[in-house]
Amino acid sequence: MDSLKAQEQNLLEALSESLTQAPVATVSPALARHDFSLLSSAWQKAIRRSDASLASRCGLELHRRDPDYFWRRIRIVVLEDISVGNLEVSASVLAIAGKRVLQRRLGDRQLASHLSAELAGARKSRTACDLACLLPLDTFATKFLDVGSSLRVFDKPKLLALATAWRQTAAYSTQVAGRWRTISRGNPRLRDEYLDLIQAPPLVRFIAVRGAGTEALNALLVPAHQLIGAGRTCPTPKPPAPASWDLISGLPAFAFCMYSAPGMQAIGEFLRHTPWGGRLQALGVRNLKKALGHLIFYTEGGHLSRPLEVLHAPAIREWSEEVSLGRFGIPPDQIAQLKSDMANDLPQLNAFRRQVNVRTVS
């Protein structure tokens, strides 16, 4: 543990030094009238798309309204979207996130703005998050599986075993029907044993230990890092349709997703007034709003502008989409066509987003 404390101190010193060279944080009055959940959505997606200016402004406004939320949320964002893409940035966020006295001493609002821009500028990886989507809610015992030549070939059972082995070491909770449920209390002894077995680099070890409570994404970062060691796969992300960047009251349209209240209202209107509701029902889809919300996420909201090359990452991503959308009854062989059609219909969806925005903007 002494080595972890030394690692943390080094991270905090480097962060303090970088803060002295960062641009002065400036408040954006135009953002003050927007719904909080919409700002949070815009912030995270600006980070994904490497828009440092928007990320910094939204992060600062979120912190102004609710500092506790900002620091809770940034821990999850960095492990969902940055992860192995930039280990130093990921570890730095985990090092500072819970230290309120130090945050105030360094300038907490300046920190919020600076870290938001740092996340936006970092390389990205959602492989740990995609692995989390593949796993059943409850953990089950499995033996440790190291990465070797056998995983240079895409093998679903072995990847599941690898991810499960790491997730069972983590303490984490998740929301079930709107209530938090403890899924695992973790196994620190097993975690440390696994980290020793793979000779985990210091930053990977730090994140695995200090990132607890983030839906096991700290533990699932480790197999993502192992996959990098086994090889690389160059991702070729297809940019979302241009309509995804349309501005609605100063915010990009992609902010109006299922994770924002106005976005969810717009999805409901879109389902009621277009053929999409009937089309999904004909496929046997359950919970139309959430199903379409997830489809929109995979069409535009989850786009990463600077993804890191992680072995099998594109295949894991596609597999995760199939599992996630399959939970709502969307057949795997329909996903590609549905995503293509959704991309073409984004201008129509944006019209409903604008209507909802007029009613909700303060």
Which CATH number do you get for residue 109?
Answer: 1.20.272
Single-letter residue type at 344 = N
The pLDDT assigned to 230 comes to 85
Give the per-residue pLDDT at 304. Answer: 92
Q: Are residues 96 and 175 located together in one domain of the fold? A: no
- Give residue-wise pLDDT tens across range 133-143: 998 766 555 66
Structure confidence at residue 138 (pLDDT): 60
Domain limits at 351?
A: 242-360
Domain count within the chain: 3
Q: Is the pLDDT of residue 50 over 90?
A: yes
Residue 225 has pLDDT above 60, yes or no: yes
Residue 236 or residue 156, greater confidence: 156
What's the pTM value of the predicted model, to 2 decimals? 0.93
Regarding predicted confidence, which is higher, 60 or 235? Answer: 60
- Between CA 236 and CA 281 the distance in angstroms is 32
For residue range 94-124, list pLDDT tens digits in order.
999 999 999 999 999 999 999 999 999 999 9
Band (362; pLDDT cuts 50, 70, 90): low
- Distance set, CA 69 to CA 6, 77, 97, 109, 215 (Å): 28, 12, 11, 13, 16
Cβ–Cβ < 8 Å for 302, 45: no
What CA–CA distance (Å, rounded) separates 17 from 9?
12
| pLDDT score of 181 | 76
At 70-96, the pLDDT tens digits run 999 999 999 999 999 999 999 999 999
Domain boundary among 92, 121, 150: 121
Query: Last residue of some domain: 206, 230, 254?
Result: 230
User: Could you tell me if residue 237 is inside a domain?
Assistant: no
